[in-house]
Every structure is written in structure tokens, then in C-alpha cells.
Structure 1
Amino acid sequence: MTPALRDAMSDDIPAIASIYSEAVLNGTASYEIAPPDEAEMTRRFQAITGQGYPYIVAVDEDGDVVGYAYASAFRTRPAYRWLVEDSIYIAQKGRGKGTGRLLLQELVLRCTALGFRQMVAVIGGASPASVGVHRSCGFRMVGTLNGTGFKHEQWLDTIFMQIALGDGDTSHPDPKRYPGTLFAG
């Protein structure tokens, strides 16, 4: 059964923290070494959603959060305001079932509707599963940084993938419309 997608809520933080903790401890997608606690994950969640960026969860038929995704600023300098970076993490229970693709497709739709023009994926550990999910959603490979992280006793590469949102770079953005609230005012 396909998981349902919805906006993440503060009540989801324990599940989100657990999913991320497993990724930090056992995977290479995140270059963090020690998993942040729930208080820190709450701060991160509030910082992202407080700036108007989308943050969504996938919930299975049992009501369990089996994945989450969010967009955030790639960089904070104003010229980057039309570009977002995506992040996706899937629980063991949700892997191999299309959950990542479902979350990413929704994230692309939401960011396009918000007026963003580009989305970039920064894929730690050059994860083949993450590369495959991004490719299936229309992202293209734009670069590799070799040996950028050292985790689990190995050097890790970082892959950059990108997709244009809306008109991408084929037209000027509306100068009155700033996506999110990070650069408003």
C-alpha cells in the first residue's frame, strides 16, 4: 500500500529523529557522526518550517512515519533565494517501496508552487539508491566532489544533482515574490 503524505507536525519529531538517528549511525547520507537529540531536531524543524519551506512525512497504513523530506536554503546569500536543497530520509520499514520517490515528487511540486526555480540534491556517500530516486524524478547529475567526508572508516564522495523548477533559468523571477520567508523584507 502506498504511504499517505502530509505536512510534518511537531508530534512527528520523535519518529523523524529516530529515522535520522539510524541514518547517521548506520549510513553515509548524512555526514553527521552523532545523531542529534529530539530537542535539536525540533529546533531544525522549526527553523525550516518557520521560513516557509515545505517539510512532509510519509505515513504507512499502520500510522507510522516511514519517511520524511524537506526543502531548505542551499545557501543564505540573497542571490541563492530561488534555489532549494532537498533532504529525504526513509525508515527501514519504508525502503524499497517507492516512498523516497513519492516524497521527492511531492517536494518538487510544492517548491515549484512556492516559486523556487531550482532544486539541488547534495548526496552524501554517493548513495546509489538516492541517485536512483533523484534520477527517476528528473534530476540530472551536475558534479561529484571526491573524498569529501570520512565516516565508517572510509572516504566518501558527494554527488550533486539538480532539477529546474517551473521556468527554471529561462525567465527572470518575479522580484516582488520571494519564496519562503528567509529573504522577505
Structure 2
Amino acid sequence: MNKTISITKMQKEDWQEVKDIYLSGIKTGHATFQEDAPSWKEWDKSHLEECRIVARMDEKVIGWAALSPISSRCVYGGVAEVSIYIDELARGKRVGSSLLQELIQKSELAGIWTLQASLFPENEASMILHKKAGFKVVGTRERIGKLKGIWRDVILLERRSDKVGIE
């Protein structure tokens, strides 16, 4: 039987579940350069409040997506970086697609014209997810940083809105 997945605005009360999913992604070694999750206060400060969402099944958070500004300079006010993480047990069930589509809509309502994602090449599922949502590869940043002492490449993708920033 298919269970209903709902997408809602992320609340502070969701942080523990969001953090647990984030830590699970960190553990894969293919999701982020971060080696630990930040505190709620740090995370809250670095992500756009109007662009934070969670996917729920039976009231349990099974995935989340959020945007963070890429710069504090006003000229980049319409450009944001995507973070999207799916609970291990919910992967492959279109949760990521639903979250990313909702995040794109929210970003456009917030006046954001460019979304970018930085992905490790090994994160094939995330690469497919982003490409299906209209993201295009704009380049590879070779050996951009070390994770656990190993140099890693990052593929930079972006999606330009066809509704915002087109005038």
C-alpha cells in the first residue's frame, strides 16, 4: 500500500530528524565536505527561512531540502545553493523529486533566479535527480577540497528560472 507523502515548511521542531538525515548523508562520504552536522543555531543562520521544506510520511520526516545564499553581496541575492537529503529508507521513492520541485517553486516565489548544486561525481543519484529537474552541468572543480585527507572533485550544476530574472 502506498503511503501519502506530504511536503511542509520546515520547523525548528523538525531539526533533530533533519539533523539525523543529514548525518546519514555525511556518513556516505559522497554528500558533503562537512564531517558533522552544525547546531540548529548555525544551520538556521545559514539557510533561507522561506526556502526550507521537509517531506513527511506518517508524521516522520523522511527528507528535507533547503537553500542557502551563495554570497552576502547584493548582486548575488537571486542565487542560492541547494541542499537536499533523503532518509536512507525513503531513497528511490520519488521523495527527492517531490522536494526539489517544491523547492524550485518556493525559490521562484522568493525571487531567486539561479539555483546551484555542488555534487561529488560519485553521487550519481543526486546527479540524476538534479538533471531531471532542469539543472545543467556548468563545470567541474577539480581537487577543490579534501575530505578525510583525500582530494575530491565537485561538479557544479545550475538551474536558471524561466519565470524570475528574465527581464
What TM-score do you get using the length of structure 1 for normalisation? Answer: 0.81
Q: Deviations over 1:102-137 (max 9, x none)?
A: 111000001111111111111135511111000011
| Partner SS, residue 53 of structure 1 | helix
Higher strand share: 2
- 2:19 maps to what in 1? 17
Structure 2 distance, partners of 1:170, 1:64, is 38
Residue among 99, 102, 110 paired with 1:103:
99
1:46 aligns with 2:44: yes
Match of 1:29 among 28, 31, 39: 31
Superposed CA deviations along residues 31-81 of structure 1, whole A, max 9, x for unmatched, are: 012x235xx1x11343256x5431000111x32111100011011111100
2:59 maps to amino acid:
G
CA separation of 1:52 and 1:17: change in aligned 2, threshold 3 A: closer
Mark the runs of 5 or more structure 1 residues left unpaired by the alignment.
172-185
Match of 2:108 in 1: 112
Alpha-carbon offset, residue 92 of structure 1: 0.4
Mark the runs of 5 or more structure 2 residues left unpaired by the alignment: none
> 157, 160, 167: which one pairs with 1:164?
160
C-alpha contact (below 8 Å) 2:78/2:114 kept by paired residues: yes
Look up the equivalent residue of 1:5 and give its one-letter code: I
Please tell me whether the aligned partners of residues 54 and 64 of structure 2 are also in contact (alpha carbons under 8 angstroms).
yes
For 2:161 and 2:60, locate their aligned partners in 1 and report how far apart those are by CA, in whole Å. 30
Q: Secondary structure at the match of 2:83?
A: strand
Partner in structure 2 of residue 129 of structure 1? 125
Report the Cα distance in structure 1 between the residues aligned to 2:63 and 2:16, rounded to whole angstroms: 12
Q: Residue 53 of structure 2 is aligned with which of 42, 51, 56?
A: 56
**Which residue does the alignment assign to 1:183?**
none
- Work out the number of aligned pairs and report it: 165
Distance 1:168 1:144 in 2: 26
Report the Cα distance in structure 1 between the residues aligned to 2:129 and 2:163, rounded to whole angstroms: 22
Partner of 1:182: none
Tell me the distance in 2 between the aligned counterparts of 1:170 and 1:57.
Answer: 29
Q: 1:142 to 1:126 in 2, by over 3 A?
A: farther
Q: 1:70, 1:120 → 2: CA distance?
A: 12
Structure 2 length normalisation: TM-score? Answer: 0.89
Question: What is the identity percentage for the equivalent residue pairs of Structure 1 and Structure 2?
Answer: 27
**AA in 2 matched with 1:95:** R
CA deviation map 1:121-173 (0-9, x unaligned): 111355111110000111111111112233356432111111112445531xx
1:133-152 correspondence to structure 2 within 5 Å: 133-151=129-147
